[in-house]
């Protein structure tokens, strides 16, 4: 099937039809904790083109390289990361596989300095987590912090309202939107939406999901249209790989929908060592996926062969 070519703003040139593999949370082939500075450096030294790290806002303007707001989940601390300062974060150590490591938790300001030493590096994806410290002032500070490498940074989030605010502040900032707060194939738990499973068996709080109004494919197309209106302009979309596959099974091609709107799509998170993940990656590559987020890019690249670049 011929599909419209998406418009790329960075990382993968339009002339390259290969899927770009994203190094999830600075993972590659190493034992460093997720989103750690050591892990990021390992990826950079190995020649990684795009690396994703999670960031949480701190109360003094910097951002911790952590996925969870609650410190006990991945560090030797306790309480909320949003209540800490940068100096306090520097005293924390990563927790990995229930073991406290010697690696301290890093800061976004440190990551920005690090990537400036690697000319080959194309994009640092900052997956921005929602928290009480994520104020308008914090978002303005984020733009100031990434200014030295602005062309090599992409801010991604499920919070479309935050992304739209960033777009209003900086029309050229590279963004990425994940619809996971609006539609999923399973409950997130932990008090995150969507809170109910709808009539089409997707987790979705929208009125369209309250009863079956038509076919599942028509429902999915209508929800995609609604989400498209919410999403910030010129943003790559990051969609859970299993959600993309389920939509395909139900007759709706989300990748083709977005490509028709000149929008690239990333599928997350696919690891070759997990059952069925390599086959799912190949299926999505055949469907035209532009990027795949993975914890081990070299291993997935072996499965995909010359169809992938990392």
Instruction: Give me the residue spans of the domains in the chain.
Output: 19-309
pLDDT band at 189 (very low <50, low <70, confident <90, very high): confident
pLDDT over 70 percentage in the chain: 95
- pLDDT for 224 equals 98
CB atoms within 10 A of CB 308: 20
pLDDT band at 13 (very low <50, low <70, confident <90, very high): very low
pLDDT band at 90 (very low <50, low <70, confident <90, very high): very high
**Is beta strand 291-294 parallel, antiparallel or unpaired with respect to 19-23?**
parallel
- pLDDT for 191 equals 87
pLDDT band at 92 (very low <50, low <70, confident <90, very high): very high
* pTM for this prediction: 0.93
pLDDT tens digit sequence for 242-293? 999 999 999 999 999 999 999 999 999 999 999 999 999 999 999 999 999 9
In sequence order, what are the residues at sequence separation of 6 or more whose Cβ sits closer than 8 angstroms to the Cβ of residue 136? Answer: 165
79-100 average pLDDT score: 96
Query: Which CATH number does 19-309 carry?
Result: 3.20.20.190
In sequence order, what are the residues at sequence separation of 6 or more whose Cβ sits closer than 8 angstroms to the Cβ of residue 13? Answer: none
Residue 125 predicted with pLDDT over 70: yes
Sequential DSSP letters for 227-265: HHHHSPTTEEEEEEHHHHHHHHHTT--HHHHHHTTT--E
pLDDT band at 17 (very low <50, low <70, confident <90, very high): confident
**Cβ contact 12:154 at 8 Å:** no
- pLDDT for 183 equals 98
Closest CA to 92 of 57, 114, 64, 115: 64
101 or 12: which leads in pLDDT: 101
- pLDDT for 7 equals 37
Determine the Cα–Cα distance for residues 219 and 226; give it in Å rounded to an integer: 11
Residue 2 predicted with pLDDT over 70: no
Strand extents, DSSP E, 6-157: 19-23, 50-57, 63-64, 93-96, 99-104, 123-128, 153-157
CB atoms within 10 A of CB 3: 12
DSSP 204: -
């Amino acid at each position: 099937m011929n599909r419209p070519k998406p418009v790329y703003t960075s990382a993968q040139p339009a002339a390259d039809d290969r899927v770009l593999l994203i190094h999830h949370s600075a993972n590659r082939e190493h034992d460093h904790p997720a989103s750690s500075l050591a892990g990021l450096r390992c990826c950079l030294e190995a020649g990684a083109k795009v690396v994703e790290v999670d960031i949480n806002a701190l109360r003094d303007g910097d951002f911790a390289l952590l996925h969870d707001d609650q410190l006990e989940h991945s560090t030797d601390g306790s309480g909320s990361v949003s209540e800490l300062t940068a100096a306090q974060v520097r005293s924390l150590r990563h927790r990995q596989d229930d073991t406290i490591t010697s690696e301290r938790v890093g800061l976004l300001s440190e990551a920005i300095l690090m990537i400036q030493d690697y000319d080959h590096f194309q994009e640092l994806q900052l997956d921005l987590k929602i928290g009480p410290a994520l104020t308008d002032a914090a978002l303005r500070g984020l733009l100031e912090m990434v200014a030295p490498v602005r062309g090599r940074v992409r801010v991604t989030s499920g919070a479309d309202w935050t992304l739209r605010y960033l777009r209003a502040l900086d029309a050229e900032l590279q963004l990425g939107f994940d619809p996971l707060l609006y539609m999923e194939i399973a409950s997130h738990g932990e008090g995150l939406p969507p809170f109910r499973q709808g009539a089409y068996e997707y987790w979705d709080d929208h009125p369209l999901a309250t009863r079956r109004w038509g076919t599942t494919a028509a429902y999915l197309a209508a929800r995609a249209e609604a989400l498209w209106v919410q999403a910030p302009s010129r943003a790559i979309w990051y969609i859970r790989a299993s959600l993309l596959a389920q939509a395909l099974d139900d007759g709706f091609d989300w990748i083709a929908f977005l490509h028709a709107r000149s929008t690239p799509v990333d599928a997350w998170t696919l690891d070759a060592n997990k059952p069925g993940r390599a086959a799912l990656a190949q299926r999505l590559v055949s469907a035209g996926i532009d990027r795949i987020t993975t914890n081990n890019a070299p291993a997935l690249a072996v499965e995909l062969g010359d169809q992938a670049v990392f």
